[in-house]
């Protein structure tokens, strides 16, 4: 079996569901269940003996050590993270605690346990750390996409905390020999994403007839990666990646934020005809230090591991919008209480 951290979040729950469907291999799923962690995301696995859920913190060394000793996973996939730039601007401490201190504790506890294994199990073990393209900073409009050798230049508390965790993972391979792997992905979208992020926020607001807030001039560029393609890439890296290596995962789908929002509106009009959703677009004050452009060069993972995204942005966004339209109960459950307060804090102006 494998141990997955952060498996109740957006990417984590998609990965757990994808992993069991694709491989049939058991998963121990550890998640702290903060605001974006949702056990309903893996309700389909409620009676599946291949899925063991444990509510816990990666910063709890005693818990992590006990789980490693009990289950003896062949791999740890670290998806546990605070992951939203806006939240990191308003409250950076939680990002340092989880992304830096938590990753360190998980790494160090895993290293101690890994060192006690027989040589064959040590060699077969992998620690895969999932990170972000934001650690590389902002690209000029005509610059080549981020590669695995692009210098780090994080510009937000979130990206700085992820950069620190990446450096720890690298150091634990080079200093202690832990067989680590790191992936840096572009912006994910798809089912089960908490609607603080751009695409689900637009879908939820549009369906409610609320304004669609777009930062600044809307011309910030991101590369978009469908979450199912990301899950397949993680599986490929875990199976065939070189220990100590980094792999950048992108969707080959660079778009400005305003074009993303317009595409969401068009997809909504297809599956829920009615109001002019695009008329709800509202430009709001830009966030501090907003990086202008991210883009991924996925040549390494394509050439070495044979992975390429299957979804285009057009096909992926149609699947995503349809999922939110068809899962109104899930949306209603997560868009209450703390979520509404957060939206008011960040977009009221």
Which tens digits make up the pLDDT trace of 41-91? 999 999 999 999 999 999 999 999 999 999 999 999 999 998 878 888 889
Q: What is the pLDDT of residue 346?
A: 61
Return the residue matching tokens 């549009």: 206
Structure tokens, 93? 């401490």
Cα separation values, 262 from 38, 55, 60, 179, Å: 29, 39, 43, 43
Return the residue matching tokens 């040549």: 299
Which of 82, 133, 166, 254 is catalytic? The answer is 133
146 forms beta bridges with: 296
Q: What is the pLDDT of residue 347?
A: 57
Which of 57, 134, 254, 311 is catalytic? The answer is 134
Which of 158, 277, 294, 347 is catalytic? The answer is 158
Helices and strands in the chain: count of H runs, count of E runs? 14, 12
Q: What is the pLDDT of residue 35?
A: 76
Structure tokens, 221? 């560029």
- Active-site residue, 294 included: no
- Cα–Cα distance, 170 to 134 (Å, whole number): 17
Q: Which residues of the chain are under the pLDDT cut of 50?
A: 349
- Active-site residue, 196 included: no
- Cα–Cα distance, 70 to 229 (Å, whole number): 31
DSSP-derived letter for residue 74 is S
Q: What is the pLDDT of residue 340?
A: 59
- Is the backbone of residue 244 left (phi > 0), alpha (psi -120 to 50) or beta? left
221 forms beta bridges with: 256, 293
- Active-site residue, 134 included: yes
**Of residues 18, 68, 73, the one with CA closest to residue 45:** 18
Cα separation values, 97 from 154, 167, 180, 322, Å: 17, 16, 21, 36
- List alpha helices for 135-287, DSSP H: 157-176, 198-208, 227-240, 257-271
Q: What is the pLDDT of residue 339?
A: 57
- Cα–Cα distance, 285 to 3 (Å, whole number): 41
**Of residues 16, 11, 322, the one with CA closest to residue 186:** 11
Would you say 246 and 145 are in contact if contact means Cβ atoms under 8 Å apart?
no
Cα separation values, 216 from 112, 283, 303, Å: 47, 6, 37
With vertex at residue 95, the alpha carbon angle to CA 93 and CA 96, rounded to the nearest 5 degrees, is 65
Would you say 129 and 165 are in contact if contact means Cβ atoms under 8 Å apart?
yes
Q: What is the pLDDT of residue 26?
A: 98
**Of residues 162, 228, 232, 242, the one with CA closest to residue 191:** 228
- Cα–Cα distance, 181 to 249 (Å, whole number): 13
212 forms beta bridges with: 281
pTM of the model: 0.94
Own/partner long-range contacts of 54-57 (Cβ < 8 Å, ≥24 apart): 54/28, 54/29, 54/30, 55/30, 55/31, 56/30, 56/31, 56/32, 57/32, 57/102
Structural domains of the chain ordered from first start: 2-193+224-255+293-314 (3.40.50.720)
CA contacts within 13 A on the Cβ side of 333? 13
């Amino acid at each position: 079996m494998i141990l997955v951290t952060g498996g109740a979040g957006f990417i984590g729950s998609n990965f757990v569901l994808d992993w069991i469907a694709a491989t049939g291999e058991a998963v121990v799923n550890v998640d702290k269940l903060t605001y974006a962690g949702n056990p309903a995301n893996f309700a389909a696995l409620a009676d599946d003996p291949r899925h063991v859920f444990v509510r816990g913190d990666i910063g709890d060394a005693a818990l992590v050590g006990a789980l490693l000793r009990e289950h003896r996973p062949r791999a740890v996939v670290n998806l546990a993270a605070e992951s939203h730039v806006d939240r990191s601007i308003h409250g950076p401490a939680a990002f340092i605690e989880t992304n830096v201190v938590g990753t360190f504790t998980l790494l160090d506890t895993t290293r101690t346990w890994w060192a006690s294994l027989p040589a064959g199990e040590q060699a077969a073990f992998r620690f895969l750390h999932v990170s972000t393209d934001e650690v590389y900073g902002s690209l000029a409009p005509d610059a080549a996409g981020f590669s695995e050798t692009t210098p780090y230049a994080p510009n937000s508390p979130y990206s700085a905390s992820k950069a620190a965790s990446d450096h720890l993972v690298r150091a634990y391979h080079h200093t202690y020999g832990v067989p680590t792997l790191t992936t840096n992905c572009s912006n994910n979208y798809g089912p089960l994403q908490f609607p603080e992020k751009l695409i689900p926020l637009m879908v939820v607001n549009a369906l409610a007839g609320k304004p669609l807030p777009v930062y600044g001039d809307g011309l910030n560029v991101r590369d978009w990666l469908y979450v199912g393609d990301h899950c397949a890439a993680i599986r490929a890296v875990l199976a065939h990646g070189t220990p100590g290596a980094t792999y950048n995962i992108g969707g080959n789908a660079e778009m400005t934020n305003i074009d993303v929002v317009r595409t969401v509106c068009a997809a909504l009009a297809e599956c829920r005809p009615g109001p002019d959703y695009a008329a709800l677009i509202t430009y709001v004050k830009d966030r501090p230090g907003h990086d202008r452009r991210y883009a991924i060069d996925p040549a390494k993972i394509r050439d070495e591991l044979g992975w390429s995204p299957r979804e285009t942005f057009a096909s992926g966004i149609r699947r995503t919008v349809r999922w939110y339209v068809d899962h109104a109960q899930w949306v209603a459950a997560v868009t209450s209480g703390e979520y509404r307060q957060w939206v008011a804090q960040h977009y009221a102006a």
